């Protein structure tokens, strides 16, 4: 039977890399988004609003996917609103497809907030999660939209008799322009500004992140795990952490990134220096850089998401994961984290996003 994939959130860093992986493996692939991705060769765009049930029904009228890959979410002002909106995104889609009875597997991408919860869970409350983070750790007693999305998948799976998999990456590194949670591109843009202005490449985060062990997830590794889990019997109805498979300390990697750009690095020196504040007022500087080097995008806000990078690098705890569960089940793909960043930087140069 032909595998027909529907990638929900195909314009994001995870969705766009996943679409390319599916197409390379011969899957018929549809990409659903409010503003569909038309830049991936072989991807069939589907324009729909997940919060508009009629929009979904109309857009999917002639599509009978066998596999759903849910890779998107919407940021809201409160966690209660996150729960309401993001569970509705999942529920609406699966309800729209339910009458077709075509879906065999649903994969949902969430993240490490599953284990960490909100800031007060590991800072104000003083209860630190055990690291490395493992899939068997119980849910926290805090509101969490990841839990609500999972529950929406479980409910639909019970109703429609499909299998599921949950995927929990750490920080995702990879190429996707316009994605507002892309640490790799944010750091590349910051480094480019430092290079042009002669400034130091200043570590923006905490002492715990600077000194502690960490890991990240290459978008290409995540894509491969998603495809593997959607057809592997050992992965049915399981949740999996997913990272590159190596660990590092930021005090090592920061110097490596600075060296790539030919910058002088400054590490943690006693206080957090948020990148969001560092990039304030740099819009005109970036416009000048974009003009000088004939770059494709001169709007700094469309490339850098300092707020999200600050959330990751400012954590007051060490964060790393155990990926042995998926390895034991048969997924053994690996990527060097240094290569993840450097491959991205080369791609950004090639595409005239950075100088």
101 catalytic? Reply is: no
How far is Cα 106 from Cα 334, in angstroms, rounded to an integer? 24
- Choose among 109, 167, 176: nearest CA to 321: 167
For residue 81, how many other CB atoms are within 10 A of its CB?
13
- Choose among 16, 11, 84: nearest CA to 51: 84
Separation in Å, CA 238 to CA 47, 48, 95, 106, 129: 30, 29, 22, 11, 21
Question: Strand, helix or coil at 28?
Answer: strand
DSSP result, 234-258: GGTTEEEEE--S--EEHHHHHHHHH
CB 135 within 8 A of CB 241: yes
How far is Cα 74 from Cα 341, in angstroms, rounded to an integer? 26
273 catalytic? Reply is: no
How many Cα atoms occupy the beta-carbon half-sphere of 215 within 13 Å? 25
Catalytic residue among 30, 115, 122, 146: 146
CB 29 within 8 A of CB 8: no
Catalytic residue among 30, 113, 147, 190: 113
How far is Cα 242 from Cα 118, in angstroms, rounded to an integer? 21
For helices 337-350 and 183-197, what crossing angle results, to 10°?
A: 70
- Find all residues with CB under 8 Å of 243, minimum gap 6, and list them: 169, 170, 215, 216, 217, 221, 320, 321, 323
How far is Cα 95 from Cα 37, in angstroms, rounded to an integer? 24
- Find all residues with CB under 8 Å of 284, minimum gap 6, and list them: none
How far is Cα 288 from Cα 308, in angstroms, rounded to an integer? 25
Catalytic residues: 113, 146
């Amino acid at each position: 039977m032909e595998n027909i994939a529907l990638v929900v959130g195909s314009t994001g860093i995870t969705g766009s890399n996943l679409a390319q992986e599916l197409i390379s493996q011969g899957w018929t692939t549809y990409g659903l988004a409010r503003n569909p991705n038309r830049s991936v060769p072989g991807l069939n765009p589907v324009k729909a609003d997940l919060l508009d049930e009629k929009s979904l029904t109309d857009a999917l009228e002639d599509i009978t996917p066998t596999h759903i890959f849910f890779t998107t979410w919407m940021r809201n002002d409160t966690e209660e609103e996150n729960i309401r909106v993001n569970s509705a995104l999942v529920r609406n889609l699966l309800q729209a497809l339910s009458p077709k009875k075509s879906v065999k597997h649903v994969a949902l991408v969430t993240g490490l907030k599953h284990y960490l919860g909100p800031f007060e869970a590991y800072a104000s409350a003083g209860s630190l999660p055990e690291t490395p983070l493992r899939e068997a750790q119980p849910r926290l007693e805090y509101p969490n939209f990841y839990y609500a999305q999972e529950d929406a998948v479980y409910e639909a799976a019970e109703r429609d008799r499909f299998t599921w998999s949950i995927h929990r990456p750490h920080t995702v590194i990879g190429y996707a322009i316009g994605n507002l949670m892309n640490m790799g591109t944010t750091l590349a843009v910051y480094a480019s500004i430092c290079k042009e202005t002669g400034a130091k490449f200043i570590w923006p985060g905490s002492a715990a992140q600077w000194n502690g062990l960490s890991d990240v997830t290459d978008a290409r590794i995540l894509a491969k795990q998603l495809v593997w889990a959607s057809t592997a019997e050992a992965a049915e109805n399981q949740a999996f952490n997913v990272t590159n498979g190596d660990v590092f300390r930021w005090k090592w990697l920061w110097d490596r990134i600075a060296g790539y750009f030919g910058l002088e690095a400054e590490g943690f020196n006693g206080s957090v220096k948020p990148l969001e504040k560092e990039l304030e007022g740099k819009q005109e500087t970036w416009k000048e850089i974009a003009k000088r080097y004939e770059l494709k995008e001169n709007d700094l806000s469309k490339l850098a998401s300092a707020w999200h990078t600050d959330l990751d690098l400012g954590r007051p705890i060490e964060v790393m994961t155990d990926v042995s569960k998926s390895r034991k089940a048969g997924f053994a793909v690996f990527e060097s984290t240094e290569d993840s960043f450097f491959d991205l930087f080369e791609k950004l140069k090639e595409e005239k996003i950075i100088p």
